């Protein structure tokens, strides 16, 4: 019997700024025999999310940093190839927190079985029906608390989270303005997703002025995916009792210095609430959220984009697309099934 090797991309050293192949090299590790209760999956999809960059640092975070020497942590969907649990049969498909690796082996309790018979493409469970869709849903509805007629501003609006935020906000009767980094993305927001306006932040010039011109009645809810200068500009445009939902700061994950927020003073002047969150804060309400998202998806009310790139060995350059704005929608790495 040939020894099967598990290719892994692991954290050799903590990156300063952008992670490179010295920080994240690959290795081939022989698969160990399964322990009692364990299940082994051959991974089909690996979710690439900005939060992973945060886990590479050893600063306090909402979950433990990735330990040096461990495979980089990521949500994965795989097909069971070997099982020591009566709850999983070879051929089942499941989702779990795995790694940048070909095979993920875990106790059965850590795996969530997915029902292929629903006919929903499996990768959707990593995005619009998974962490990113739930991030959009809970962040907007619980923290943003949008009311009909209010103006909702979304940064990284063409991304996996932002695009869902905007569509849900439209369903609540809000005026929705998105910020994105190319004219194509902006056109997608207004022409396909029904956003009322879009701002190309790479060409608009002064952010405060650009937001102020499009949001004539001010901003009531700002869904912040980026932090930094755009957050600062949004603060300058917020209405009294405005709400800012901060779900991750892509622009800062790779910055060794956080930018200075000149307009934080607005917090007091306009009685603004800024609340940070991660989707795990709403763990006990995931069934409610997934149920609502599936309902909207099946009703055709929720459009989304996935960018699926093939090949485990492309993981690092593909991951970096999240930080230069070159991805469109939820970024997923696909691994061959054989």
Binding site for a copy of itself (CB under 8 A): 54, 59-62, 240-241, 246-249, 252, 258, 260-262, 264-278, 281
Q: Which residues pair with 246 in a beta bridge?
A: 224, 276
Closest approach, Cβ 19 to a copy of itself, in A, equals 18
Report the residue number, 60 or 69, with the smaller CB distance to a copy of itself. Answer: 60
Closest approach, Cβ 55 to a copy of itself, in A, equals 11
Closest approach, Cβ 268 to a copy of itself, in A, equals 4
Residue 213's alpha-carbon distances to 37, 75, 197, in angstroms, are 59, 40, 11
Query: What stretches of the chain adopt beta strand conformation (E)?
Result: 5-9, 26-30, 38-48, 73-83, 93-99, 103-107, 112-113, 151-154, 175-180, 197-200, 219-224, 238-246, 273-276, 306-310, 330-334
Report the residue number, 23 or 252, with the smaller CB distance to a copy of itself. Answer: 252
The helix/strand/coil state of 87 is coil
Distance separating alpha carbons of residues 236 and 232, to the nearest angstrom: 7
Buried b (16+ CB within 10 A) or exposed e, 179-193: bbbbeebbebbeeeb
Closest approach, Cβ 275 to a copy of itself, in A, equals 4
H/E run at residue 266 = helix 266-269
Which of the 8 DSSP states describes residue 2?
P
- 112: tokens are 């969530």
Report the residue number, 116 or 213, with the smaller CB distance to a copy of itself. Answer: 213
- State CA 115 to chain mean position distance: 22
Closest approach, Cβ 179 to a copy of itself, in A, equals 19
CA R_g for the chain: 21
The closest of 279, 302, 280 to 169, measured between CA atoms, is 302
Closest approach, Cβ 278 to a copy of itself, in A, equals 6
Closest approach, Cβ 325 to a copy of itself, in A, equals 20
Closest approach, Cβ 276 to a copy of itself, in A, equals 4
Report the residue number, 51 or 95, with the smaller CB distance to a copy of itself. Answer: 51
Question: For residues 128, 134, 137 and 143, what is the CA-based torsion angle, rounded to 10 degrees?
Answer: -150
The closest of 96, 92, 98 to 79, measured between CA atoms, is 92
Report the residue number, 92 or 224, with the smaller CB distance to a copy of itself. Answer: 224
Report the residue number, 269 or 308, with the smaller CB distance to a copy of itself. Answer: 269
Report the residue number, 30 or 60, with the smaller CB distance to a copy of itself. Answer: 60
Report the residue number, 165 or 278, with the smaller CB distance to a copy of itself. Answer: 278
């Amino acid at each position: 019997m040939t020894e099967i090797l598990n290719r892994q991309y692991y954290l050799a050293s903590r990156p300063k700024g952008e992670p490179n192949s010295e920080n994240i090299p690959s290795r081939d590790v022989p698969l160990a025999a399964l322990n009692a209760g364990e299940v082994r999956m051959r991974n089909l999809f690996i979710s690439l999310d900005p939060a992973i960059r945060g886990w590479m640092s050893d600063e306090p975070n909402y979950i433990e940093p990735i330990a040096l020497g461990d495979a980089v942590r990521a949500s994965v969907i795989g097909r069971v190839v070997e099982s020591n649990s009566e709850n999983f049969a070879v051929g089942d498909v499941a989702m779990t927190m795995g790694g940048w690796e070909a095979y993920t082996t875990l106790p059965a309790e850590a795996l969530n079985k997915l029902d292929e018979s629903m006919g929903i493409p499996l990768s959707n469970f990593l995005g619009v029906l998974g962490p990113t869709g739930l991030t959009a849903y809970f962040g907007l509805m619980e923290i943003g608390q949008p009311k009909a007629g209010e103006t909702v501003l979304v940064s990284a609006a063409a991304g996996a989270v932002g695009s869902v935020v905007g569509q849900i906000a439209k369903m609540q009767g809000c005026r929705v303005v998105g910020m994105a980094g190319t004219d194509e993305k902006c056109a997608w927001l207004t022409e396909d997703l029904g956003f009322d306006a879009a701002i190309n932040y790479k060409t608009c010039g002064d952010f405060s002025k650009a937001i102020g011109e499009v949001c004539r009645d001010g901003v009531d809810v700002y869904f912040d995916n980026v932090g930094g200068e755009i957050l600062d500009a949004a603060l300058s445009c917020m209405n009294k009792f405005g709400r800012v939902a901060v779900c991750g700061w892509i622009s800062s994950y790779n910055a060794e210095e956080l930018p200075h927020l000149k307009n934080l003073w607005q917090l007091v002047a306009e009685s603004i609430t800024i609340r940070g969150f991660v989707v795990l804060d709403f763990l006990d309400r995931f069934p409610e959220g997934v149920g609502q998202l599936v309902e909207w998806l099946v009703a055709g009310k929720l459009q989304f984009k996935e960018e699926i790139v093939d090949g485990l060995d492309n993981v690092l350059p593909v991951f970096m697309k999240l930080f230069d704005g070159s991805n469109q929608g939820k970024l997923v790495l696909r691994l061959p099934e054989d």
